[in-house]
Structure 1
Amino acid sequence: MKWVTVIIKPFKLDDVREALAEVGVQGLTVTEVKGFGRQKGHTELYRGAEYVVDFLPKLKLEIALSDDILEQAVEAIVGAARTGKVGDGKVFVSDLEQVIRIRTSETDIDAL
């Protein structure tokens, strides 16, 4: 099993969700986050004053996946989230040792 953490631009959420549904992903968690990377923020004008926005709004998606759909899911995420511009995001894949569904006490793949 794998734990996939994805950082994307907020307006790409629906595209990514639909692409994941097509490959069989049944659930994910979304968190609004802020951050910067190579994009490094930007300057904005507010009421005549210029200021720097260092941290840009992003979304963090967290998904537990079985190994058999991992490659398809990552391809779906990358394809749906790509705009071709700086700041499109990242995909992080980690090993997931154990999953337990609280309601039924099912474990591992059965709990996904």
Structure 2
Amino acid sequence: MKMITAYIQPKRLDSVRQVLSDIDINGVSVTEVKGFGRQKGHTELYRGAEYVVEFLPKVKLEIAITDEQVEEVIETISTACKINGGKIGDGKIFVTNLEQVVRIRTNESGPEAL
């Protein structure tokens, strides 16, 4: 089992949710986060004053999946998040091992709990 953690642009959330649903991925946790990578923020104007936005809004997705689903999920998220052929700030996907999963309601464990 694997845990997919993806950081994407907020405006891409609906399209990612839809394409994940299309490939039968049902369980996704979403958190609004702020951060920066190579973008290193940007400047904005507010009431005539310029200020630096160092932490950009992002959305963090967490998806627990079976080993067989990893490549399909990565490809699906990547395709849905690329803007104009891919730009800095499109996001990142991390894959980590998931040692154990337990469904509290039924005490099922392992892939059956997903």
Shorter-chain TM-score category?
over 0.9
Root-mean-square deviation (CA, aligned residues, Å) is: 0.7
DSSP 3-state at the match of 1:25: coil
Aligned to 1:103: 105
What is the aligned length?
112
Give distance in 2, aligned partners of 1:30 and 1:54: 22
CA displacement 1:58-90 (0-9 Å, x = unmatched)? 000000000111111111000001112210000
- 1:9-88 alignment, distance < 5 Å: 9-83=9-83, 84-88=86-90
Give distance in 2, aligned partners of 1:81 and 1:99: 28
Kindly state the Cα deviation for residue 18 of structure 1 after the two structures are TM-superposed. Answer: 1.1
For structure 1, list consecutive stretches of 5 or more residues without a partner in the other structure.
none
TM-score (norm 1): 0.97
TM-score (norm 2): 0.95
CA contact (8 A) 1:31 1:59 kept: yes
